[in-house]
Amino acid sequence: MSWNSSSQEEKEECAYAPHIGHMQSCLYADAFARIQRLQGKNVVFSTGTDEHGLKVQQAASAMKKVPEEYCTYMSSKFEDLFRNSEISFTHFIRTTDKEHKETVQNFWRKLQENDHIKKGRYEGWYSVTDEAYVPVSQIKEIKEGSTIKMVSNETGSEVEKMSEENYLFKLPQFQKDLLYWLSKDVIKPAMFLEDVRRWIHEGLYDLSVSRPRSRLSWGIPVPDDDSQVIYVWLDALVNYLTIGHNAENNLVWPADCHIIGKDILKFHAIYWPAFLIAAGYEPPRKIFCHSHWTVNYEKMSKSKGNVVDPLALMDKYGCDGFRYFLLRASLPTNDTNYSEVKIHRMVNAELADTLGNLLSRSCAVALNSDQVFPKFYHHSLYNLKDFKVEELIRNVSDLPEKVQLYFTDGYFFRGIDCIMACLRDANAFMQLCKPWELVKKKDEQSKETLCTVLHVILEVLRISGILLQPVLPNLSNRLLTKLQVPKENRSWLNITCFPSYHQISNPMENHSLGKDSTPLFERRKAS
């Protein structure tokens, strides 16, 4: 599902519209935020749009809009997308906000007062796409037809030679501070930490932190020098401090975690902590960095026209199906190739069949005529011993600890895999027990065995529903509501698994089920 358009204006718009690469960071951040809330914590979760810089200035010109109009238009597209995909942010910041401009200029003054900024001439190769100067050691020459271009080794973006007077940040002074901060293993996964260490050991240089207004008019003016505007990557990073001031103007800092794509790791793991230390702030406690999506094993690129439209995916697979795919299929350490076949098979097999079908079957009137969460009978375990019931109970009881560990480390695919393995085992258990045959028998033993089978399956669903809330907020809510799990019993705090099995009082027993009988997740048809 690439962006398709007919008019030139639509093509320009699509070139800058949000795609699933933008969604990945936001979904990771949303899942992390939901995990913290499920553990009883108060969360400040910010996202938003960086709106200054030469790239934005040029994009606005291409769409024949003034920058302010262009930014408002594009920012609304991102905000609408995030809301439609259930991103539970507490703050949506635009770097054109008045409050942000004031925070950036105050931050600049602190750097100046602490003697970490000087004026000088900067010469080097500049990438408009990356909004950054690129060291000559990271430049290579490529040939495209008869044209020879210079590009960045890291990003593949074209660079041009530039020489201009601007302000420089004394970055080399912070090498020891950065290495000390990194020694606390603040960047996850570890492979990205090693990348940052390598960059630092290769050498740090004075960093250009302003641009001449004659070249870049769209930016925040340098205090007391209207001939210069503040470098977009200093401006944009300070948004975290803008958000960090609450209504009482108390600083909520340092941030517990930044969630970023690997393409902006250097800005967040070298420049940003150095800026913070220079201004007298603590660096963030953690940075979680993730890899990218590819299409046909090529980097997703607006210029190539191979970006994937998240709204089209949500229209077809629903918000939760879309979220599930992005968190289930992606690996933080490796680029993931997008496939329409992959998402179609995944949501049908796992959400419709494994999860949804198990709920429908176990709540069917034909098997569960009283429409309750049935009582558990210990003596029935003997009748089920050949079906590995206690092994299923043990495996599912281990889920909360395993899933919490994987999810909090950002390895959502592993946590989801553990949940799905248990749900598949529960489906197999149901097939072996054949409750549709037990329900036909009228003796007391068969009735109690049927109750125990359904109890075990509904308990697997209850635990799975609680654990899947960061990934599937809507489906989990419907599942838990169907089981009539009270809101106060849906947190990750002290999840008690199979209380009846452990002979602990269980308020769920004989509790009426919800009346909603629609399928949890409808199977999707192939394109």
Residue 47, pLDDT score: 93
Closest CA to 44 of 91, 78, 97, 94: 91
Cα–Cα–Cα angle for 414, 267, 29, rounded to 5 degrees: 35
Averaged pLDDT of the chain: 90
Q: How far apart are CA 398 and CA 495, in angstroms?
A: 11
Please write the tens of the pLDDT for every residue from 348-399: 999 999 999 999 999 999 999 999 999 999 999 999 999 999 999 999 999 9
Closest CA to 463 of 426, 514, 410: 426
Q: How far apart are CA 85 and CA 319, in angstroms?
A: 5
- Name the strand (E) or helix (H) holding 337: strand 336-338
Q: Are 462 and 508 in contact (CB under 8 A)?
A: yes
Closest CA to 320 of 479, 495, 516: 479
Q: Are 196 and 265 in contact (CB under 8 A)?
A: yes
pTM: 0.90
Please write the tens of the pLDDT for every residue from 416-433: 999 999 999 999 999 999
Residue 189: asked if its preceding bond is cis (omega within 30°), the reply is yes
Length of the chain equals 527
Residue 434, pLDDT score: 95
Beta bridge partners of 162: 124
> What 3-state class would DSSP assign to 83?
helix
Beta bridge partners of 386: none
pLDDT band at 287 (very low <50, low <70, confident <90, very high): very high
Beta bridge partners of 297: none
